[in-house]
Chains A and B, each alone.
Chain A
Amino acid sequence: MSQTYINKLNYQDFVNPNKPNYITKEFEKLIREIGDCKSKLDEDRLIEQQIIKLKKFTKKKKIKPKQQSELVLRLLFCQLLGHDVSFAHILAINSSQESNLFYKFIGYLAASIFISTNEDLQLLMINSIQKDLKSDNTLAVSIALTTITKIITVDMIPAVLSNVLILLKHQEPLIRKKALTAMYTFLKQSPESILKHQKDFELMLDDKDISVTGVALDLFLFISKTKPKTIKHLVVSFVEILNLIISGKLPIEYDYREIHAPWIQIKLLKILSYLGQDDPNTSREIYQVVQLVLKESEIGFINGIFAGHAIMHECIKTITKLYPSTKLLELASIAAGKFVTSYSNNLKYLGITALTDLVLVYPEATNKHQIIIVDCLEDPDETLKRKTIELLFRITNKSNISFIVEKMLSYLKTQKDQKYKTSLVSRILKLAEEHGTNIKWYILTINKILQIFGDLVNHDIVYNIMKLISEGSLLEDEEDEEDEDDEEEKESGKEGSQLTKYDGNTALKIFSVNIYAEIISLKKPYPNILYQISLWVAGEYSYLCTNFTTEEIMVNVVDLINAFYISDETRAMAITALTKMVSHSGKYLEQIDTIIQKYSTSRNTDIRQRCFEMKGILQLPNIIDNILPPDSINTDIEIDTNLEFLNEFVENSLKNGGKKYISKEERIKMENELQLGINENKKKSKELRFEAYQSNNPQQSSTWRIPQQNIYEREVNNNQISNTIEIENSISLKVSGISQRWTETGYSGFKENENQNIENKKEKGEEKNTNDNNQNNQNNNNNNNNNNQNDNNDNNNNQINQNNNEKILDVKSFRFNRIGSKEPILEEENKIQEKNLNNDNNNNITTIKQKPPKTEEELKREKTVNALFNGVGSVRTSRKKSKSQKVNLNSKHITKNTIEKNNEKVENLIDLGSEKN
């Protein structure tokens, strides 16, 4: 009664100038002081002082509920300012178990902030949550459900699932909604266990309250992403709901600025897009409604309502995901155009995003808007620019490549983020490779990129360019390497235009050597990578250069070698280039001598090596042309891998008594054979056959066998002296010499013992054994027997047996079961006492509800049994159990009284308004 009264009240009734103040004056003072702090240090000091005080206070034995909630509030404040208050998290839990709703709220709020899902404390929370889920008070249920969503873990789901499922049918929409939200949280954590209840929340789609449906859609959105096939049959109802919303049949309070329930519309569109993906049949069912929604959302554009834009944007997204329909795609591209042409940056951004998706399925979409898109690159907004770059990558083709790359480079110059730059450069290079139509343009572009961003480029590009220039278009057919595939296309594209004066290959070389010779002559601190390419090209093709004479190039190179801004690697390449130029042209410069002198003593061995090479080559003017012939990169050098020219030498040495060469493989083979032979010999001499002993009695445990065999071996060794010769000669074991106590089933002396033992087990006798292993088994049996005798209750026996089997494998769930089942135990205990304790309760133990009740005696006994069987590990758990049990007992004590008290209080409060209890 009290609840319905509250729901009828309007919120304005509560808007009171004298709002309730949770904060005491003392606390307010603290907040003010912290507000006045000038530095973080001051603030920290204040809070630390506060925490020390609070810590002292928490150690008091009796804290009144009032004080407790105040304490929790202050701790919350400290936590918010980034301090550790983990010592008092338990207070929040205690506070959540208070009967007074106000304290309970504070407790839950603090607990949900304090407790992250990794902590054990959440297990303690479960108790009070379970209690509150069953409460008659809507508010208590509501806050419990809210807390569940924050602290639940997979292990805890079974404990509350049944309660939440019941709450799905609660009369209050608020509770249904929160229960569904809790279900959603479960679904995310363990989809399998929740999907069993899919029918339950399918019903929620038809709920009277549309907001409940809205929450239910969250669950379906999740399922549609992961397992779309399982809910294809629901497409019809989703479409129906969407139609219902557009037609404006919802209560007016769900309108958000003239748009009908935009959030729910968006959720539905998302679900439909997942369901219709790659599925022509489902898509066809969806087309019509999407078109309607798109049309309807245009109102937003007229009135400038963001929610309308949002729906429109979602429609475009959906259309791109659905099985393509030309009509819808056209509509979508028109809508995207509206976004792009708008003045707001937000909408522009969304337009670009939409086009980026749309272009993949509908390339014509961007045709009309190219200029606007490129303009976006000049906008000061970074986010917008990055998105635009993304789009440009997708719309680049042969016709617009040069324009787009230019724009991108100018954008790149403004960038500061190194990581982003690097990725962008490599992407631009790739783009140029893919879509470039003109090889000259390609080389120029690469140079431009290298000039500015040479440090960010992968060194593979150097090799690519060298190969491109040297092999040119004439050799394209011979290129087999994958990397060069893209370049082949390019070359074939420009071939026709270049075959005017020279053949294409030479023209390209002349063109490139002119460019690179110029780069060298500029003497600017360009990145090394660019100089390396330039030097190589200049060295190879200097004689083709038309803009510079070879001497000029040589002088420039000499200057470059002396420049401070190039690396040793580049310098070494420059020296080689110089050598090549000298050998090709036959001209010599005096500066070369100084270079050789200067760098022959360089610290870098590579430079030194090359200097000496150059010196050596220059001293042999006769053969200089043979060492470095012009344009030699494409001439294959034949290598005689068989070294036939040495045949004569080998024959001579063989004649003179040398050994014949044996190849490595043959040698390894021979070595292996040798070793195998040795091993086999060893085996033959030492191997023993155990076959006769392997057909042992299966009842025998494995622990039995090991000592037997050891003993056996030892004995055999002792006897070996007499038997060696026989064993070596015959492969099978001769048993005749060995004492007859050894039988096929093992040592007969032990065997008797063992048999006895098995008999003991069967008869449950009390004979004791000397063997260690047996003693353990025996203990087990004895324990079981004792329990059997002492205890008439079958349940308990089952329990223990089960424990015996499972041991501590499932400690966590077990502990948690105990906590979870605390509440029902109280009730069931009484009932069962009334009935009869001796009833057979052989129910399934694993489920919580059906779990047989335990008296305290039983629990104690179980603990001791556990400790006996499982050793230290289980002792620890049993301690934990007892701890949690204590807490439970406390809470039990509270719950009995509080639920009743609580209800009384609330009713009093509400009926009398301002009266205090």
Chain B
Amino acid sequence: MIYFLLLANKQGKIRLSKWYQNFTKKQKTKLQKEVVSLCLSRSQRSCNFIEWNDYKIIYRRYASLYFMICCDTEDNELIGLEIIHHFVEILDKYFGSVCELDIIFNFQKAYNVLDEVIIDGKLQDSSKKSILRSVGTQDFLILNAPETGTLNL
């Protein structure tokens, strides 16, 4: 099971975080810091797994972005890598050659996509087509939805 998923850039700034178990705010910030610094400090030739406390961190770097997931030690590491890759491929198809900026400005969409890929720490669907279809359906509705109101603060 995946306990949490983090997205951070090379400077260690968190771009996306998703928690599949309850942590307090304090724990979250602590975990984020630890995990990100652990992953960033590793050389490129090292393997993509880190045994960390009672968990295992699987991370992968795509351009400037690090995708990290934290899971049980008994989980299959390679399939964890494939989950990351699967997610990235879907993001790529969805945004059309995805980059960090896409995720910064469309974080809600990224969350939406992530919700279709992983639910409750499990891979939801291994078919890209069906995921993109359901995400697309949502967009389709939104495209026709009324615009959000301005708050005029």
B-binding residues in A (CB < 8 A) = 6-7, 9-11, 13-16, 19-20, 22-24, 26, 28, 31, 35, 53-54, 57, 64, 66-67, 69-71, 73-74, 76-77, 80, 82, 84, 100-102, 105-106, 109, 116-118, 139, 142, 146, 149-150, 174, 177-178, 181, 184-185, 211, 214-215, 218, 253-254, 256, 261-264, 266, 306-307, 309-310, 313-314, 317, 344-346, 348-350, 380-384, 386-387, 906, 909, 913-917
**Contact of A262 with B82 in the complex, beta carbons under 8 Å:** yes
* B120 partner residues in chain A, CB cutoff 8 A: 149-150, 181, 184-185
Tell whether B150 is near chain A: CB-to-CB under 8 Å.
yes
CB distance from B14 to the nearest CB of A (A): 8
Assess the A306–B105 pair: CB atoms within 8 A.
no
Distance in Å: Cβ of B112 to nearest Cβ of chain A:
7
Tell me which residues across on chain A come within 8 A of B78, comparing CB atoms. Answer: 306-307, 309-310, 313, 346, 350
- Bound CA–CA A28/B145 (angstroms): 19
Contact A914 B144 (CB under 8 A): yes
Nearest CB on A from B134, distance (A): 6
* A67 B146 Cβ-Cβ under 8 A: no
Residues of A within 8 Å of B96, CB to CB, are 15
Provide the residues of chain B in CB contact with A348, threshold 8 Å. Answer: 47
3 A-B pairs closest in CB distance:
A66-B149, A310-B78, A14-B136
Report A-chain residues with C-beta under 8 Å of the C-beta of B146. Answer: 66, 100, 102, 916-917
B47 touches A310 (CB 8 A): no
Roughly how many angstroms separate A369 CA and B125 CA in the complex, as a whole number? 38
Q: Is the CB of B129 within 8 A of A11?
A: yes
> What residue of chain B has the Cβ atom nearest to residue A386's Cβ?
B51
Taking CB atoms, residues of chain A closer than 8 Å to B50 are: 383
Q: How many residues of B contact A (CB 8 A)?
A: 62
Task: Tell me if B137 and A9 are in contact (CB < 8 A).
Answer: yes
**Complex Cα distance A261/B126, Å?**
7
Give the residue name and chain of the A residue nearest to B140 (CB). Answer: A14
User: How far apart are B137's CB and chain A's nearest CB, in angstroms?
Assistant: 5
B25 surroundings in chain A (CB, below 8 A)? 82, 84
State which residues 74-89 of B face A: CB under 8 Å.
Answer: 76-79, 81-82, 85-86
User: B151 to chain A: closest CB distance in Å?
Assistant: 6
Looking across the interface, which residue of chain A has its beta carbon closest to that of B50? A383
Q: Which of B47, B126, B132, B141 contacts A11 (CB 8 A)?
A: B132
Name 15 A/B residue pairs within 8 A (Cβ), A-sorted.
A9-B133, A11-B136, A14-B140, A35-B104, A66-B146, A70-B150, A101-B145, A102-B146, A139-B137, A142-B134, A263-B79, A266-B79, A313-B77, A346-B48, A914-B144
Closest Cβ of chain B: how far from A743's Cβ, in Å?
A: 64
Nearest chain A CB to B21 CB, angstrom units: 10
Task: Annotate B56-82 by CB proximity to A: 1 below 8 A, 0 otherwise.
Answer: 000000000000000000001111011
Interface pair B126/A211, CB less than 8 Å apart: yes
A400 to chain B, nearest CB (A): 25
- Smallest CB-CB separation from B146: which chain A residue? A66
List residues of chain B with CB within 8 A of the CB of A185: 120
Are A211 and B79 neighbours in the complex by a CB distance under 8 Å? no
Q: How far is the CB of B130 from chain A (nearest CB, A)?
A: 7
Chain A residue nearest to B116 (CB atoms) is A146
A178 touches B119 (CB 8 A): yes
B11 proximal to A (CB < 8 A)? no
**B49 on the A face (CB < 8 A):** yes
Contact B153 A57 (CB under 8 A): yes
Alpha-carbon distance between A69 and B115 when the two chains are bound, in angstroms: 19
Q: Mark B89-112, 1 if CB is under 8 A from A, else 0.
A: 000011010000000110110011
Assembly CA distance A28 to B25 (angstroms)? 26
A909 touching B144 by the CB < 8 A rule?
yes
> Which of A57, A82, A310 is the one whose CB lies under 8 Å from B151?
A57
Q: Which residues of A contact B124 (CB under 8 A)?
A: 177, 181, 215
* Nearest residue, chain B, Cβ from A74: B151
Which B residues are in CB contact (< 8 Å) with A19?
139, 143
Q: A9-B137, A105-B138 are in contact. List 15 more A-B contacts (CB 8 A).
A: A7-B133, A15-B96, A66-B148, A70-B148, A70-B151, A71-B151, A82-B29, A139-B137, A178-B119, A256-B126, A262-B126, A306-B82, A309-B78, A350-B77, A906-B141
A100, B45: Cα distance in complex, Å: 50
Q: Of B77, B140, B143, B153, which one neighbours A9 at CB under 8 angstroms? A: B140
Q: Is the CB of B49 within 8 A of A349?
A: yes
Bound form: Cα–Cα A64–B138 in Å: 22
Task: Establish whether residues A23 and B144, one from each chain, have CB atoms under 8 Å apart when the complex forms.
Answer: no
**Interchain nearest-CB distance for B84 vs A (Å):** 11
CB <8 Å contact, A253 and B151: no
Q: Report if B10 contacts A (CB, 8 A).
A: no
Q: For the complex, what is the distance from the CA of A266 to the CA of B50, rounded to whole Å? A: 21
Q: Are A383 and B148 in contact (CB under 8 A)?
A: no
Contact check, B126 vs A313: say whether CB atoms are below 8 A apart.
no
User: Are A139 and B141 neighbours in the complex by a CB distance under 8 Å?
Assistant: yes
Contact present for A24 and B148 (CB under 8 Å) = yes
Q: Which residues in A have their C-beta under 8 angstroms from that of B115?
A: 109, 146
Counting CB contacts under 8 A, is B135 at the interface?
yes
Residues of B within 8 A of A67 (CB): 148-151
* Given A20-B145, A101-B141, A909-B144, A346-B47 contact (CB < 8 Å): yes
| A266 adjacent to B76 (CB under 8 Å) | yes
For B138, the chain A residues whose CB sits under 8 A away are 105, 139
* A20 and B47 form a contact (CB under 8 A): no
- Find the B residue at minimum CB distance from A57: B151
Using A306-B78, A310-B76 as known contacts, say yes or no to A9 and B45 having CB atoms under 8 A apart: no
Q: Is B145's CB under 8 angstroms from A24's CB? A: no
Shortest CB-to-CB span from A905 to chain B, Å, is 9
Asked if B108 and A307 sit within 8 Å, CB to CB, the answer is no
Cα–Cα distance between A66 and B129 once the two chains are bound (Å): 32
Would you call B127 and A253 a contact (CB within 8 A)?
Answer: yes
Query: Which residue of chain A has the shortest Cβ distance to B17 in the bound complex?
Result: A80
Given A181-B119, A184-B120, do A214 and B126 touch, yes or no (CB 8 Å)? yes
Residues in chain A near residue B150, CB distance under 8 A: 24, 26, 67, 70
Q: Which of A31, A64, A256 contacts B104 (CB 8 A)?
A: A31
Q: Which residues in B have their C-beta under 8 angstroms from that of A387? A: 51
B21 to A, closest residue via Cβ = A117
Which residues of B sit under 8 angstroms from A35, Cβ to Cβ?
A: 104
CB distance from B62 to the nearest CB of A (A): 15
Please report the C-alpha to C-alpha distance between residue A174 and residue B129 in the assembled complex, in whole angstroms: 13
The verdict on A109 contacting B148 (CB below 8 Å), with A211-B125, A211-B127, A381-B46 known, is no
CB-based nearest A residue for B86: A256
A256 to B81, CA, bound (A): 13
For A10, the chain B residues whose CB sits under 8 A away are 133
Kindly identify which residue among A20, A109, A313, A381 contacts B142, using a CB–CB cutoff of 8 Å: A20
The answer to whether residues A22 and B133 also contact, given A101-B141, A346-B78 and a CB cut-off of 8 A, is no
Establish whether residues A102 and B47, one from each chain, have CB atoms under 8 Å apart when the complex forms: no
